[in-house]
Structures are given as C-alpha cells and as structure tokens.
Amino acid sequence: MIFFKKIRFKNLSDSDLLKLYKSSENTEYLGELFSKYSHLVYGVCLNYLKNQQNAKDAVLSVFEKIIVEIKKSEIENFKAWLHTVTKNYCLVQIRTKQRQILREKIFSDEINNEILPVETDEFYEDDKTDEIYSAINNLDKEQKTCIELFYLQNKSYSEIAEIMNYTNNQVKSYIQNGKRNIRNYLTSKP
C-alpha cells in the first residue's frame, strides 16, 4: 500500500503537497517533500556548517522547524522558501556557536582573571552573553576588531598585525586595553 501512495505522491506538485498537508496535517505529505529535498537541505547545511554530522543533524532540525513554519507561512515556491529557512537556520547555528566560543574563551581560566574579576558562574548564563557582546560593541574600532579576530577567529597577534596593518605591539595593546574595557563595562553594570 505504501508503494502505491508514493506513486500517487510523485504526481503531486510541491504546492499540492503543501495544500494537502495544511488541510489534513497528514505528515505523509511532508514526508514526500522531505524525500524530495533532503539532499538539497543537506548540501546547504554542509556548505554553511562545514561538518557532516552537524549538517545531518541540521537537516532533521530544519524539517522539524518547517512543520511549524509551514502552517504560519504563505509559500509560493517551496524549494526557494526551504532554502531560505535552511540558510537562516544554519546562520543562527553559526552565530550561536560563535557566542558559545566567545563565552568559553572569555570564561576560560587563561583569561578569566584578566577580564572578569567576579565569579565566573555569574556571567556564564546565556543572558550575560548579550552583555558581553554589548561590551565588545562599545569598544573602540581597533580594540573591537582585534578582540574579535583574536578570540572569535583564533588569529595570532602576527596574523592580526598583518590583516590590520598594525605592529605586534599595537595588537597586543589593543587586545589588553579591550579586555580591560570589557571588564570595566561588565563590572559597572548593576
């Protein structure tokens, strides 16, 4: 019986499958769209996330997300809409990962005492990450750029100096002053 359903679904357009899903909420219609586009979603995820396992996990998450989003959206071109949803999902994952990396680096034992003279656990919460980003955004342009290159992109002093056309001593100074200004910003908050 399933074999015959697949054949019946093969003759339906994406628009027809969406209409049938919206009217019946029968996930078999979405299953057909999943079968048809999962390899494309995987390709987009792999392109952005650069890791096969993360891309596979993202494919499932994207299709879980579209179950909810389809009901709220008026979709004219499913393939284009799915590409946009997938791309946006991946970008959110990348930003989340970058925030996590920054948070871990800021709270690592290596620099914790340099930036935060307060209890680390207090600042390790997600809502405090926004304060850290706010502190970084309040830095001078040079300090902000050097902090981001050093902590988020794992660039060395020499690499930053080459990219920014600074001396190594200037880079070191911008990073040290930036860390001090972040600490001052975070400790001045109530």
For the stretch 129-160, pLDDT in tens is 778 888 888 999 999 999 888 887 788 899 99
Contact partners, residue 15, CB within 8 Å, separation at least 6: 78
Do the domain assignments include residue 113? no
Q: Are residues 99 and 130 in the same domain?
A: no
Q: Are residues 24 and 100 in the same domain?
A: yes
Counting the structural domains of the chain, the total is 2
Q: What is the pLDDT of residue 109?
A: 42
Give the mean pLDDT of 103-132.
56
Q: Are residues 22 and 101 in the same domain?
A: yes
Q: What is the pLDDT of residue 127?
A: 59
Give the mean pLDDT of 52-74.
91
% the chain with pLDDT above 90: 42
Q: Are residues 97 and 27 in the same domain?
A: yes
Do the domain assignments include residue 119? no
Residue 60 pLDDT class (50, 70, 90 cuts)? very high
User: Which of these, 152, 139, 143, lies nearest to 172 by C-alpha position?
Assistant: 143
Which CATH number goes with the domain that contains 176? 1.10.10.10
Q: Are residues 143 and 96 in the same domain?
A: no
Alpha-helix runs per DSSP H in the chain: 2-10, 14-24, 27-49, 52-72, 78-106, 109-115, 120-123, 126-137, 141-147, 157-164, 168-188
Q: What is the pLDDT of residue 81?
A: 95
Give the mean pLDDT of 75-81.
93
Do the domain assignments include residue 118? no
Give the mean pLDDT of 44-72.
93
Do the domain assignments include residue 140? yes
Do the domain assignments include residue 33? yes
Which CATH number goes with the domain that contains 47? 1.10.1740.10
Q: What is the pLDDT of residue 1?
A: 41
Residues 140-143: contacts with CB under 8 Å, at least 24 apart: 140/174, 140/178, 142/166, 142/170, 142/174, 143/174, 143/175, 143/177, 143/178, 143/181
Measured distance CA(141)–CA(177) in Å, rounded: 12
Domain that holds residue 149: 126-189
Structural domain ending residue among the three candidates 107, 134, 156 = 107
Q: Are residues 67 and 133 in the same domain?
A: no
Q: What is the pLDDT of residues 64-74, one digit of tens each?
A: 999 888 888 88
Residue 106 has pLDDT above 90, yes or no: no
The model's pTM: 0.61
Give the mean pLDDT of 66-90.
92
**In this structure, are residues 61 and 45 in contact, taking their beta carbons and an 8 Å threshold?**
no
Q: Are residues 135 and 62 in the same domain?
A: no
Structural domain ending residue among the three candidates 80, 107, 134 = 107
